[in-house]
Structure 1
Amino acid sequence: MLAPKISVLLPVYNAASFIGESIQSILDQTESDFELLIIDDCSTDNSFQIIESFQDPRIILHKKKLNSGYTESLNWGIDQARGKYIARMDADDVSLPQRFEKQLLFLEKNQHIAMCGTDAIVKGSNLKFNYPCEPEAIQANLLLGSSLIHPSILGRAEIFKAHKYNIAKEPAEDYDLFTRLAASGIQLANLEEPLLIYRVHTNQISKVQNQKQIGSAQQSMLRMFKLFEYDRIQYSDETVLSYIWPTRSINRGQLKAGLVFFEQLKNSKHPFTKKEVLKVIRIKRYNLFKAYVKQMNFGTIKASFLALRLLGLSHWRQILKLSY
């Protein structure tokens, strides 16, 4: 049997409300040379029965014997994938018809790019991703957070197979993967066009396990900041995390120390462009000022605007958009 061009990984757990529409959106792709690997993680609703109702020969359905998690399902799919490319899809999202066609065309024209995502239309929220498209900008933006929409990505199979997902990092396994790739010099990109409908709803993994997600994401962000050549003895991981991801209010001394740290980063050796570094540091300084103002018992909104006034930033609209 000839290998398909694309292997699509679709993990499922109790997604009966959405899974049918999600599968159909893949089957309706204008690029039809794919296999659809659906991994059911012991769903207790009728997700499995809905999946079985599709008779398309491109579907390969695997029902796990034990509920072992979303990331383990993805790694199983990576092991089984026969395609030259691997695409991600979530059970509650919808891929627009030309998604695979346009991503394949982009990757085949840009052999130096390992993986690309797309923008998305968001349902159920006013969320806008506003992720950059160029590899250099994405690498720097990973200093701020995940910079590709996970269920929109399509990449070269050898990259997925060589790196895989870290099960311990779920539910922020995507940010972990992207930072590991970027830190090793692998180039990532985004298509500006929205080719995915991304749903936000109360049952999503990221809301249920919010604290675990934050802990994992902090370590991924720290990985990116370690690409700066700063003094590792003077600045422990714990100290750096308190500057780049302040989770509580800080005093004047901590504010001053954090600002000194960011000033040193500007002058240190690093793989990022100067323009992107300056943007990231402005945002991180703003967040640090906001954490300082919070200890004065102002509300979050007042703290945000006071921090902006203290900084005297003329680019406040950009800061507000990127810092939440």
Structure 2
Amino acid sequence: MPALTVLMPVYNAEKFLAEAIDSILQQTFADFEFIIIDDGSEDSTAAIVASYSDTRIRFVQNERNLGISATLNKGIILAAAPLIARMDADDISCPERLQKQFEYMQANPDCAMVSSLVKVITEDGQLVRVDQFRSEFFYYNLTFICWIYHPTVMYRKAAVEEAGMYAVPYAEDFELFWQLSRRHKIYNLPEIMLHYRVSSKSLHQVLKKKEYEQAQHEQLLRNFRYYAGKNFTLPTSHIECLQHNFEPILAEASRSSVLQCLKSLDAITEGILYKENTNRNIEAIKKAAFYKRNYILTNVMKHLTKPQKAMLLISDRNLNYLSRLLKNRVRIKFKNVFSF
């Protein structure tokens, strides 16, 4: 049995497929099977995969297009190894990715999933950005935004099966990661281990953008209610703001709306602080909440006049009950953490 399964679904992936395959076959870690599932491609995908003679490749072709979630679940069932590394057909894994992630998972048996930083690139390989995400903030921020790049993850097959595998057709990775983080430890290695390509055929950014946005909207409401109560609700503009899309709330031109959004954020943060979880770290949650709150205020205030900024900060200071609550209930030094 191989020590590791690499799982890569492909669909009309001829443009970048060979580069993706090569980046896996050239890994410093060699004890793996490479399951490639063609989900009904109509281009030369099958011929490209068939051109490889590496015995580690297991090529599977769906009789019809099943979609990403069903195809991934099929791959999980087929996986022979207890650890599964995800890969996408338009990305590039760095040579030591599998080695470093495998070693981390071996050294940390209580961790169900490890991810990594990425270099985001254009279709022609030009640098877009490098996100400097800190692992200790992942648990808090997964409530609001999917910080984890899907093709960077390596997870335990048993934990994914326990979490229900890929249970939704859209935003399937966000759903799985959130479910895993409810039950198991997760971690992000602070190294770039994948070049993540922004493609014109990206499902969540281009082809199925509306479907993914709707699915994520529903997931976010579920996440918020998990921490803030089953009757908790907030308008779409506030949900967008908490995902750092500020245009809808700015379009309202309402200081009270911004304040209510911040109040909702404080309520969610309070719930995260007191909900039992293996990933819960009080200090990390407080820091992540402070950074998020400050980021929202900073970006909103860019579009305000000086008098409006002053009024917002004065009002926000009055609404800043979370700081007082933490001092009274947790008895942890928390001096001026929300000062502006």
Query: TM-score over 0.5 for the alignment?
Result: yes
Return the letter of the residue paired with 1:128: V
Q: Aligned residues, how many?
A: 294
The answer to whether the 8 Å contact 1:116/1:154 transfers is: yes
Match of 1:181 in 2: 180
- Residue of structure 2 aligned with 1:130, choices 129, 132, 151: 132
Match of 2:275 in 1: 270
Aligned counterparts of 2:266 and 2:92: Cα–Cα separation in 1: 43
Match of 2:292 in 1: 283
The answer to whether the 8 Å contact 2:140/2:288 transfers is: no
Return the letter of the residue paired with 2:109: Q
Give 1:105 deviation, angstroms.
Answer: 0.6
Distance 1:192-1:179 versus aligned 2 partners, 3 A rule: same
Query: Alpha carbon RMSD of aligned pairs, Å?
Result: 2.9
Aligned counterparts of 2:78 and 2:306: Cα–Cα separation in 1: 51
Return the letter of the residue paired with 1:145: I
> Helix, strand or coil: the match of 1:166?
coil
Aligned counterparts of 1:198 and 1:308: Cα–Cα separation in 2: 38
- Residue of structure 2 aligned with 1:29, choices 23, 27, 30: 27
Sequence identity percentage: 29
Return the letter of the residue paired with 2:289: V
Q: TM-score normalised to the size of structure 1?
A: 0.80
> Helix, strand or coil: the match of 1:167?
coil
Return the letter of the residue paired with 2:77: D
Give 1:306 deviation, angstroms.
Answer: 9.7
Match of 2:165 in 1: 164
Match of 1:320 in 2: none
Aligned counterparts of 1:304 and 1:101: Cα–Cα separation in 2: 52
1:52-89 superposed Cα distances (whole Å, 9 cap, x missing partner): 00011111111111112122110100011110201100
Distance 1:69-1:304 versus aligned 2 partners, 3 A rule: farther
Distance 1:267-1:143 versus aligned 2 partners, 3 A rule: closer
Return the letter of the residue paired with 2:83: Y
Structure 1 range deviating more: 104-113 or 256-265 = 256-265
Match of 1:153 in 2: 153
Return the letter of the residue paired with 1:133: S
Structure 2: stretches of 5+ with no match in the other structure = 317-340
Aligned counterparts of 2:306 and 2:25: Cα–Cα separation in 1: 48
The answer to whether the 8 Å contact 1:116/1:190 transfers is: yes
> Helix, strand or coil: the match of 1:117?
strand
Give 1:252 deviation, angstroms.
Answer: 4.5
Structure 1 range deviating more: 20-29 or 120-129 = 120-129
Aligned counterparts of 2:135 and 2:269: Cα–Cα separation in 1: 23
Match of 1:144 in 2: 144
Aligned counterparts of 2:36 and 2:94: Cα–Cα separation in 1: 19
Distance 1:82-1:260 versus aligned 2 partners, 3 A rule: same
- Residue of structure 2 aligned with 1:245, choices 231, 240, 244: 240
Give 1:275 deviation, angstroms.
Answer: 4.7
Aligned counterparts of 1:275 and 1:38: Cα–Cα separation in 2: 38
Distance 1:282-1:25 versus aligned 2 partners, 3 A rule: closer
Match of 1:192 in 2: 190
Aligned counterparts of 2:309 and 2:64: Cα–Cα separation in 1: 50
Give 1:274 deviation, angstroms.
Answer: 4.9
The answer to whether the 8 Å contact 1:18/1:93 transfers is: yes
Distance 1:55-1:304 versus aligned 2 partners, 3 A rule: farther
The answer to whether the 8 Å contact 1:266/1:278 transfers is: no
Aligned counterparts of 2:179 and 2:290: Cα–Cα separation in 1: 21
Distance 1:281-1:224 versus aligned 2 partners, 3 A rule: farther
Give 1:231 deviation, angstroms.
Answer: 4.9
Distance 1:45-1:262 versus aligned 2 partners, 3 A rule: closer
Give 1:259 deviation, angstroms.
Answer: 3.7
Q: TM-score normalised to the size of structure 2?
A: 0.77
Distance 1:57-1:245 versus aligned 2 partners, 3 A rule: same
The answer to whether the 8 Å contact 1:152/1:196 transfers is: yes
Match of 2:335 in 1: none
Give 1:223 deviation, angstroms.
Answer: 3.4
Aligned counterparts of 2:81 and 2:230: Cα–Cα separation in 1: 42
